[in-house]
Amino acid sequence: MDRLRTMSVFVAVAEEAGFSTAARRLNMSPPSVTRAVSELEQRLGAKLLHRTTRSVRLTDAGQRYLADCRRILGEIEEVDRHAAGIHATPRGTVTVTASVLFGRMVMAPILLDLLDRYPEISLTTTFVDRVVHLIDEGVDVAIRIADLPDSSLSAVRVGSVRRVLCASPKYLDTRSRPETPAGLAGHETIDFVNMTPGGEWAFEKSGKTQRFRPRSRLRVNSADAAIAAALRGRGITRVLSYMIAPQLAAGTLELVLDDFAPPAVPVHVVHKEPDRTSARIRAVVDHLVEHLRTGSALDHDCGTG
């Protein structure tokens, strides 16, 4: 049996924790599986598995060899997919991450369209309000709303969002509308802590930066809570522009101090296959880029680099 085939057999035995179950998975006879692993151990001069009548467990050498086999076999499979290039049918599972609210408001309908477009692709979503490490956490594609540091990841800019202040018309009718950031001192504020780096709200106008430190009776860690409080007339809050697009359209929230908004925040589609992109990852990335660049959730005056 050739070397790659014996590696595949060993991986199956390790993952199934048994020779008979591995044989069924590989459509081989149990004696053939046993013989392949024995030949592999003999060639390596190392014991890879502890065998008893009830269990099969990896030795320390077996654990190390299993990790190497998975990596090598995965790279070979990826090379084959890459060789097929654009002619390969996108298939397989892709894991996508974004923040919770962006995932619910923006990503969900785009990803449902993707499933219709590519019947052989399956999706797993991880919508969380933290930065997900793509390689360590096994995630394929991410939406990053931030300035990106240099990294080995591949990123495509699809637009931008703005950091905006908002409040309900009811609240603004009962208080004088602030004309400068300093005027916020006389107002109730709702501190969405994700939007308050260093505990301050930054503003910019005519190239000059101003800062305000909200002294809020209500501090929340989710955009949904901040928006709900603002809708109830509890004060002024800061969120990202896409988060309140429906409320602005309906007139239930209004922008405050929009002339002092800081620079827009770029939005990127990021993936971890910069050198040799598989058909499934390329299909997902291209679909996201296409829809995010043409959709209404983002501002599109930032170029397409």
pLDDT of residue 137: 83
pLDDT tier for residue 303 given thresholds of 50, 70 and 90 = very low
| Phi–psi pair at 232, nearest 5 degrees | -80, 0
Distance between CA 230 and CA 220 in Å, rounded? 12
Cα atoms in the 13 Å half-sphere on the side-chain side of 99: 18
First-last CA distance in the chain: 49
- Could you report the per-residue pLDDT of 211-230, keeping only the tens digit for each? 999 999 999 999 999 999 99
Q: Which two tokens stand for residue 103?
A: 């995932």
Cα–Cα–Cα angle for 149, 153, 154, rounded to 5 degrees: 105
Round to whole Å and give the CA distance between 104 and 124. 14
CA dihedral 275, 279, 284, 285 (to 10 degrees): 30
Integer Cα distance of 210 and 257 in angstroms? 12
Token pair recorded at residue 119: 């019947």
Residues 98-146: tens digit of each pLDDT: 999 999 999 999 999 999 999 999 999 999 988 888 877 888 999 999 9
Domains of the chain, with CATH numbers? 3-86 (1.10.10.10), 89-161+265-294 (3.40.190.10), 163-260 (3.40.190.290)
Please give the single-letter amino acid code of residue 211.
Answer: R
- The alpha carbon torsion through 172, 224, 221, 267 (nearest 10 deg) reads -100
User: Are residues 239 and 227 in contact, defined by beta-carbon separation less than 8 angstroms?
Assistant: yes
Exposed/middle/buried for residue 14 (C-beta within 10 Å: 0-12, 13-18, 19+): buried
Residue 288 has pLDDT above 60, yes or no: yes
- Give the bridge partners for 125, in sequence order: 96
**pTM exceeds 0.75:** no
Which residue in this structure is represented by tokens 């499934």?
280
Is the pLDDT at 152 greater than 90, yes or no? no
